[in-house]
Chains A and B, each alone.
Chain A
Amino acid sequence: MPTPSQHINEKDLFLRIAEGNEAAFRELYQLYGRLMLPFLTKLTGSQDIADEIIQEVFLRVWLYRDKLPGIEFPRAWIFQIGSNQAHTWLKKNMRAAEVARLHRDVQATADSPVEATLTVNAIKALVQQAIEELSPQRRRIYLLQREHGMKPGEIASQLGLSVSTVKNTLLVAAKDIREKVEKAGYLPYWLILFFMKK
């Protein structure tokens, strides 16, 4: 059962992140990163690995930001991605030999091979290519937000469009980019099937 959020309003953060607001993204990253850190550190035996898993989680939150406005239970959705990423790591790194070794010899944890390639580095070129391939109007609006940090209202005024058109375009552009990344074989696509608002 999802617990109610206390001080931070996740839904408000989600709406701002959907528009590309980086301050909101940083706030969510820090808050939920800290919530997941103790468990992930215990599970993997390494704070570095926990940090990387958390980064993988939030990379997905960022790339799936067009879905954020429709998510009914933000906390559960984030934890689902978190446990997914933890599961992926476990399957890769916890074969019989490692599990036994992990508990015989604590030092082995520090030396155990870690999946070093972070998805964010692997897909950066894809993301930039995808931006190039956006339709001109979509790209213009997207870049005004991403590169100049302009708010939807300011973009709307600059281009003579309605605010809702700008907001929708930002979501669609984010989706276009993510779909290109998925097509290239990154990110699980079934993530989005869960916890959607009716």
Chain B
Amino acid sequence: MINKERIYYLLQQHLDKHITPDEAAELADMLQDQQQDPLVRETLQRFMEEQAVDSPGDIARWEGRIAAIVNMDRERIPALPKGRLVTFGRRGWVGRRGWVAAAVLIVLVSGSYLWFLNNRKGGPSSANDSRQVQNDALPGGNKATLTLAGGQKIVLDSAADGMLAQQGSATITKLSSGQLAYKTVGGYTSLGAVTYNTLSTPRGGQYKLILPDGTGVWLNAASSITYPTAFNGRQRAVIVTGEVYFEVAKDKAQPFHVKANDMEVEVLGTHFNINSYTDEAAIKTTLLEGSVKVTKGGSGRDIQAVVLKPGQQAQAAAQTATQAGGQTAAQATTQAAAPIKVVNNANVDQVMAWKNGLFNFDKVSLQEVLRQLSRWYDVEVVYQGTITARKFGGEIGRDLNLSEVLDGLRETGIHFSVEGKKLIVMP
């Protein structure tokens, strides 16, 4: 008959790696005997208590596991690999997601990968010490300006928490988390015109806003959203510029409409990202969850619409100011007729990287990498000489200083110098 002391002894032998083959067999049999379960559990808990000893310092490799748990009720997160970095010769493949204290940059150089690990939390290397960077561009932060209907501007980074303003039936509050929240008092007002506010982020800024209906809005740098202070109409309609991510509160009675340049997105209740920067080639709408209808403006027969499913991205060639102004009739017709392109299995991690505090590049040109950096660090990019045709890929944290990011790029053979707010790319 197994008793408590015997169980304790066998487990101790196992833990100390002194167990004999016969004892091992006895332990295995005992584990399968359900009648012993309570005693076994009790003994295990006793060992756990006896052997509980703390070592200081957080364990970085657990961050992904912690995130997986708390993100269960949020948008789809990247699948977590086992956390090992695997390389095959010079063709590198990063198995670990860029969540933790390491920044990884992979460079695709004419077919082969180079990779390296850049520990951002590590102490400064002796080589860097002698190179004190003057005017190092700090990463962007929560900065935005709120423009009220009457033209009054409130700078949100320096505003104190609490109620900022009251407009008609709406109160605007800055929460302790930094984001902005609207509350409609008493709901529907049919009297008086609805007022519109604009929240805009500068270069180097980002901000989060909660609309009166509970819709969450995340603004990337150099972006804006114009919205009514109360959703009183048959629709909830907003206008955006730049890059904005939405998590729309469900309301079948009031569809949600977003307008970006000449593209319109109609949603019921869903999560999607719009990238409409005018210096990018196309307006991209990426759907994470739910269902949206994307319409490209024009008139009469030129209007086109596609319905997206989660994971798809709609791309529409952006109409720039010069195109709109200086086209011939023939050009205008060709452009308006250009169809909306739908991409299946869009790289959602890449699209959502900014909201998750990362830059994520996937075989893109140096110009695109630097366009994103220039918006976040608020620098102007100047190219000298020929620009490399190489493609770049990888993930970097958005909370690094510009000098740290440039150090990474320098390792790939690009030469930079920084003068004030100018980032000069040299051959």
Residues of A within 8 A of B (CB): 3, 22, 25-26, 29-31, 33-39, 42-43, 48, 51, 54-55, 58-59, 62, 79-80, 82-84, 86-87, 90-91, 94-96, 98-100, 102-103, 118, 120-121, 123-124, 127-128, 131, 140, 143-144, 146-151, 154, 157-158, 177
B68 at the interface (CB under 8 A from A): yes
Residues of B close to A59: CB separation below 8 A: 69
**Shortest CB–CB separation between residue A14 and chain B, in angstroms?**
16
Q: Is the CB of B175 within 8 A of A94?
A: no
**For residue B29, which residue of chain A has the nearest CB?**
A96
Q: Is the CB of A22 within 8 A of B72?
A: no
Residues of B close to A3: CB separation below 8 A: 49
Docked CA distance A87–B357 (Å): 39
Highest count of chain A CB atoms <10 Å: which of B40, B175, B176? B175
Q: Is the CB of A147 within 8 A of B216?
A: yes
Contact of B54 among A22, A34, A80, A177 (CB under 8 A): A34
Q: Is the CB of A39 within 8 A of B25?
A: no
Q: Is the CB of A95 within 8 A of B32?
A: yes
Q: Is the CB of B72 within 8 A of A124?
A: yes
Minimum-distance CB pairs A-B, first 9: A99-B24, A83-B44, A83-B45, A96-B28, A35-B52, A39-B51, A55-B65, A127-B72, A99-B28
Q: Is the CB of A143 within 8 A of B69?
A: no
**For residue B58, which residue of chain A has the nearest CB?**
A30
Q: Is the CB of B72 within 8 A of A123?
A: yes
Interface residues of B in 46-68 (CB under 8 A from A): 47-49, 51-55, 58-59, 61-62, 65-66, 68
Q: Is the CB of A35 within 8 A of B72?
A: no
Q: Is the CB of A43 within 8 A of B59?
A: no
Binds A, one of B14-22, B220-228, B260-268, B401-409: B14-22
**Shortest CB–CB separation between residue B77 and chain A, in angstroms?**
9
**For residue A144, which residue of chain B has the nearest CB?**
B214
Docked CA distance A43–B13 (Å): 11
Residues of B close to A33: CB separation below 8 A: 59, 62
B316 at the interface (CB under 8 A from A): no
Interface residues of B in 236-272 (CB under 8 A from A): 247, 249
**Shortest CB–CB separation between residue A191 and chain B, in angstroms?**
12
Q: Is the CB of B25 within 8 A of A87?
A: no
Q: Is the CB of A150 within 8 A of B175?
A: yes
**Shortest CB–CB separation between residue B149 and chain A, in angstroms?**
21
Contact of B27 among A58, A99, A128 (CB under 8 A): A99
With A33-B59, A120-B69, A131-B73 as known contacts, state yes or no: A148 contacts B27, CB within 8 Å: no
With A55-B69, A80-B45 as known contacts, state yes or no: A87 contacts B62, CB within 8 Å: no
With A35-B52, A147-B216 as known contacts, state yes or no: A25 contacts B28, CB within 8 Å: no
Docked CA distance A87–B29 (Å): 14
Contact of A94 among B27, B58, B176 (CB under 8 A): B27
With A39-B48, A103-B17 as known contacts, state yes or no: A91 contacts B72, CB within 8 Å: no
Q: B115-154, CB under 8 A of A: which get 1 and which 0?
A: 0000000000000000000000000000000000000000
Q: Is the CB of B175 within 8 A of A154?
A: yes
Task: Please classify how large the interface on chain B is, using the bins under 10, 10 to 19, 20 to 34, 35 or more.
Answer: 35 or more
**For residue A59, which residue of chain B has the nearest CB?**
B69
Q: Is the CB of B68 within 8 A of A36?
A: no
B110 at the interface (CB under 8 A from A): no
Residues of A close to B55: CB separation below 8 A: 34
- 20 A-B pairs (CB sep. < 8 Å): A29-B62, A31-B54, A34-B59, A39-B51, A43-B44, A79-B48, A79-B52, A82-B48, A83-B44, A87-B41, A90-B31, A95-B32, A99-B19, A99-B28, A103-B14, A148-B208, A149-B177, A150-B177, A151-B175, A151-B176
Residues of B close to A144: CB separation below 8 A: 210, 214
With A34-B55, A154-B175 as known contacts, state yes or no: A148 contacts B216, CB within 8 Å: yes
Residues of A close to B179: CB separation below 8 A: 148
Q: Is the CB of A30 within 8 A of B41?
A: no
Q: Is the CB of A146 within 8 A of B28?
A: no
Q: Is the CB of A42 within 8 A of B15?
A: yes
Residues of B close to A146: CB separation below 8 A: 73-74
Q: Is the CB of B66 within 8 A of A87?
A: no
Residues of B close to A147: CB separation below 8 A: 74, 216, 247
Residues of A close to B40: CB separation below 8 A: 87, 90
Q: Is the CB of A158 within 8 A of B183?
A: yes
**For residue A37, which residue of chain B has the nearest CB?**
B59
**For residue A96, which residue of chain B has the nearest CB?**
B28
B193 at the interface (CB under 8 A from A): no
**For residue B13, which residue of chain A has the nearest CB?**
A103
Q: Is the CB of B66 within 8 A of A157?
A: no
Residues of B close to A80: CB separation below 8 A: 45
Residues of A close to B41: CB separation below 8 A: 83-84, 87
Q: B198-214, CB under 8 A of A: which get 1 and which 0?
A: 00000000001010001
Q: Is the CB of A35 within 8 A of B53?
A: yes
With A33-B59, A90-B31 as known contacts, state yes or no: A38 contacts B53, CB within 8 Å: yes
